[in-house]
A = this chain, B = another copy of it.
Amino acid sequence: MNVSIINIGDELLIGQVVNSNASTMSKMLIAAGMDVREVATIPDDGKAIRETLERCLASTQAVLITGGLGPTKDDITKKTLCDYFHSELYENEEALANVKRIFDSRGYELTPINRQQAWVPRCCTMINNYVGTAPCMWFEKDDKVVVSMPGVPFEMDWLMENEIVARLRQHFHCDYILNKNLLVQGIGESFLSDLIESWELALPASIRLAYLPQAGMVKLRLTARGADEEQLKRQIADAVSKLYPIAGQYIVGEDLETLPELVAYTLKKASKTLATAESCTGGTIASKLTALAGASEYFKGGIVAYSNEVKEIALGVKHETLEAHGAVSEETVREMVMGVRERLHSDYAVATTGIAGPGGGTPEKPVGTVWIGIASKDQVIAKVMKYGDRRAQTIERTCNEVFSSLVKMVKCGG
């Protein structure tokens, strides 16, 4: 079954907003076994909407539309769809009750303009948007489906997760789809592919394998598709259990998506705590870890030691060390990582100090030079990385290097 996505909104075309809906929706559809053929981003313009819808309807079975459902004049999606399907608008009771409930909960009075949010074309099935005032509309034309959703990311998200994906699966009698992720670390994609080749060739026809390389690791995704859900579960479990004897030493986690999730999983499993001392990453390591719910189970806190003064005051880095070796040095990163572990009473600690740029480089320590440190009770590892002169990338790569080095140390019980 195949789908196209139309994201409507002037703001997406002037670059004011990054179109994250397209990737969120694609990910959900793919995970449910559907193929996304095209994403079209178009302005709030009736002609563009009609033409794009026509084209997408001709090439795919379902067309998912976001955006243009607000109460202002710019938002013309609802009217355009109503005309396209030769229908007329009416006030939908359930949608009105929803709009009222939301206005009540915010303590706002319902204006006539907001009340219009509850109007939908007669020919569509109204799907209640519990987290917002713009209702979702489901149209059917011949054997095709058109769904119109709000463009606000979390409203689209809620509708897709709670309503649309399941309804599409049911309408088009889709197969069951089960996904299983395995995070692999410490082996390159091509070596991994050689190592598990015979296992891969022996997979049942219902299971597809995908290599999804990410910074510092590879995600293996097994996707099973078929009519019998229980059988698919057994097949996945069987395939995974056969993989462990071959590549088990590289599998660092199951059903995880990112390096910070892997850090969280690894530390929680080991019942260990972490503290951070960040100079060049400026809080980004802590921020990425605390973005995940439940971080307080293992993360005690950190010091963003941006200035040398703070390195001394808050981490106990010796003034002489900074004088003799500079802030970006093995000696400093070692004192930082040991200092934070001791002061914040954690089992493990990580530290970063480097020149993210664009300024601050010297011939001996060019922009992109970063020292990272990882410490446990028993050992301290320090290493220097040479990244390029792009600040954001240097910060990102430093975080990834810290996360993978930390996971390695924890897994080795170091």
* A residues adjacent to B (C-beta < 8 A): 12-20, 22-30, 36-43, 48, 52, 55, 154, 212, 275-276, 278, 281-287, 289-291, 293-296, 299-307, 309-310, 313-314, 343-345, 356-359, 390-393, 395
Q: How far is the CB of A50 from chain B (nearest CB, A)?
A: 14
> Which of B19, B295, B390 sits near A22, CB closer than 8 Å?
B19
CA A289 – CA B17 in complex, angstroms? 21
Nearest B-chain residue to A344, judged by Cβ? B310
Q: List 24 A-B contacts (CB under 8 A).
A: A12-B39, A13-B26, A13-B38, A14-B26, A14-B30, A15-B26, A16-B27, A18-B19, A18-B23, A37-B43, A282-B299, A283-B285, A283-B302, A284-B290, A284-B291, A290-B304, A290-B306, A291-B395, A299-B306, A301-B305, A301-B306, A310-B344, A313-B345, A314-B343
Cβ-neighbour of A304 out of B13, B24, B303, B357 (below 8 A):
B303
In the complex, how many angstroms separate the beta carbon of A302 from the nearest chain B beta carbon? Answer: 4
Contacts of A16 in B (CB 8 A): 23, 27, 212
**7 residue pairs, one from A and one from B, having the closest CB atoms:** A282-B290, A15-B27, A283-B286, A283-B283, A301-B310, A15-B26, A39-B41
**CB pair B37 A40 closer than 8 Å:** no
A114 to chain B, nearest CB (A): 15
Q: In the complex the two chains form, is B283's CB within 8 Å of A284's CB?
A: yes
In the complex, besides A40-B41, A283-B290, A293-B358, 9 extra interface pairs with C-beta distance below 8 angstroms are A15-B26, A15-B30, A18-B20, A19-B39, A38-B41, A38-B43, A55-B55, A310-B344, A314-B344
Contact present for A303 and B301 (CB under 8 Å): yes
Q: How far, in angstroms, from A53 to B344 measured CA to CA in the complex?
A: 58
In the assembly, what is the distance between CA of A357 and CA of B293, in Å? 7
B41 with A48: CB separation less than 8 A: no
In the assembled complex, the Cα of A345 lies from the Cα of B41 at a distance in Å of: 50
Inter-chain contacts of A306 with B (CB < 8 A): 286, 290, 295-296, 299-302
Q: By the criterion CB–CB under 8 Å, are A23 and B19 in contact?
A: yes
Q: Are B309 and A345 in contact (CB under 8 A)?
A: yes
The distance in angstroms between the C-alpha atoms of A293 and B314, with both chains bound, is: 23
Determine the chain B residues whose CB is within 8 A of the CB of A299 once the complex forms. Answer: 282, 306-307
